[in-house]
Amino acid sequence: MAEQAQLLRPTDDEARELARSLIRGARYMSLAVLDPATGFPSVSRALTAIDLDGVPVVLVSALSGHTKGLKDDSRCSLLAGEPGKGDPLAHARITVFCEAELVSRDSAAHQRLRARFLRRHSKAQLYVDFPDFRFYRLAPVQASLNGGFGRAYALGAEDLVFPLAADESAWLKIQNELVEKTSEAARFAQRLGLGDKNWRFGLVDPAGIDLISGDVLVRHEFQHRLDLPEDVIHYICK
Amino acid sequence: MAEQAQLLRPTDDEARELARSLIRGARYMSLAVLDPATGFPSVSRALTAIDLDGVPVVLVSALSGHTKGLKDDSRCSLLAGEPGKGDPLAHARITVFCEAELVSRDSAAHQRLRARFLRRHSKAQLYVDFPDFRFYRLAPVQASLNGGFGRAYALGAEDLVFPLAADESAWLKIQNELVEKTSEAARFAQRLGLGDKNWRFGLVDPAGIDLISGDVLVRHEFQHRLDLPEDVIHYICK
């Protein structure tokens, strides 16, 4: 699964932060599943969000090829990190090997993920409640980070996913409160040097927060983990 | 492998042209292979070029994860078509299921692909001749085109790949001649409404031609197939 050991650099905090930024900051990723009919690996594009613990989430139709794959075999992988200008291989990207977990429609997890997904992808409102659509959590097993030529790292689930300390509802509450805070979003964006762009806050979790402006999503990783939602308000407004 | 039949539109010439443009115009694609150690589908990013017959080509190191996958099991898939502004799922993309064919280092095919690959990716000059690098032709078996919401099509190899009528060396010759023709490239780009951007010609084959300016690659599909290289000159200069 990983590159040859001698090519890998030791995994340090910088690599971990880059890995989390790539995964948590992606609006969409390439999703590879096993095609049940032929055994071929099948790669397609999926919109992504991130659960509170950092697990990537997709919303898929039962009619689509990738859902049939995930239903039949939970093994899958995601590719995050889009190239900008210049050589595409000079840009950081990460392959994350995951086990897919179907989220039952009548579960609390479904409600939580529905709210988080729509925060990022408001147009998904059009189809999120269609009866054939389901969320899958794609739980990372291990990952291969390529930070550009000669910068390869192997990561484990523990580098990417954190169990939640505070209770979920407190995070949902702060998520909702942050919607209104557009002037705080503007100030925070300015602190990050992002310029004046009509920013709003997107998803928030203990590891970081989204700033969103139209199609642009910027993920900011906190300098250290914030276990309590009120710490996020303090961090943003300090 | 395909979407459910009732969701598919009948495959017409417009869909075929869109499919070919996406594949032949991609500077890079997501490549999914089967990981030999774990059986997981593994997706990573690869620079791509196109052989004369339309078969996608990758240049990979024996040390990389995707090469180990391709060596062990030739089944793979490619995702082409990058999202621009707006909803990523509104942008056309195509999943192409392929059988990988290793190109021997001392073959004529290697020389042909080396010349074509470097025409698109000049920085690959730095590593193309390293002993662990090889070309693979990823021969399409079938494909699933998604032209945006509700616009799904199934395609076969015959829609994407054409056997070559004229001889290879004639195509290599015209490829080399076109390098010099920068004023013709500028005029042709203007005809296509592409604006003034220091265009040069990239790859050419019976189905179409690249225009390249820095990082920008625009693939133009000819109105009909041009079986002879001299027809290309006529088409471009008319």
pLDDT digits (tens, 9 = 90+) for B115-143: 999 999 989 999 999 999 999 999 999 99
* ipTM of model: 0.92
CA distance A77 to A54: 15
Q: Quick check: pTM over 0.90?
A: yes
pLDDT for A86: 76
Q: Tell me the pairing of strands B152-156 and B200-205.
A: unpaired
Comparing C-alpha atoms, which of B101, B54, B34 is closest to residue B219?
A: B54
pLDDT for B5: 44
Chain A residues in contact with B37 by the CB 8 A cut-off are: 1
Share of chain B above pLDDT 90, in %: 70
Interval A98-144: pLDDT, tens: 999 999 999 999 999 999 999 999 899 999 999 999 999 999 999 99
Share of chain A above pLDDT 70, in %: 97
| Token pair recorded at residue A134 | 């389901």
pLDDT of A224 above 90: no
pLDDT of A3 above 70: no
Name residues 25-54 of chain B within 8 A of A (Cβ): 27-28, 30-35, 37-45, 47
Which segments of B91-133 does DSSP mark as H helices, in order?
108-120
CB contact under 8 A, B40 and A79: no
Average pLDDT, chain B: 91
pLDDT for B143: 98
Residues in a beta bridge with A142: A97, A156
CA-atom Rg of chain B in angstroms:
18
pLDDT-based confidence at residue A44 (cuts at 50, 70, 90) = very high
Chain B residues in contact with A154 by the CB 8 A cut-off are: none
pLDDT for B37: 94
pLDDT for A95: 98
CB contact under 8 A, A89 and B47: yes
Comparing C-alpha atoms, which of B164, B184, B162 is closest to residue B233?
A: B184
Residue type, B225: R
DSSP string, A62-79: TTSHHHHHHHH--EEEEE
pLDDT-based confidence at residue B3 (cuts at 50, 70, 90) = very low
pLDDT-based confidence at residue B237 (cuts at 50, 70, 90) = confident
pLDDT of A4 above 60: no
Determine contact: A88 vs chain B, CB below 8 A: yes
Query: How much is the average pLDDT of A16-25?
Result: 94
Query: How much is the average pLDDT of A207-215?
Result: 91
From residue B177, how far is each of A52, A112, B141, B230 by CA, in Å? 57, 60, 33, 11
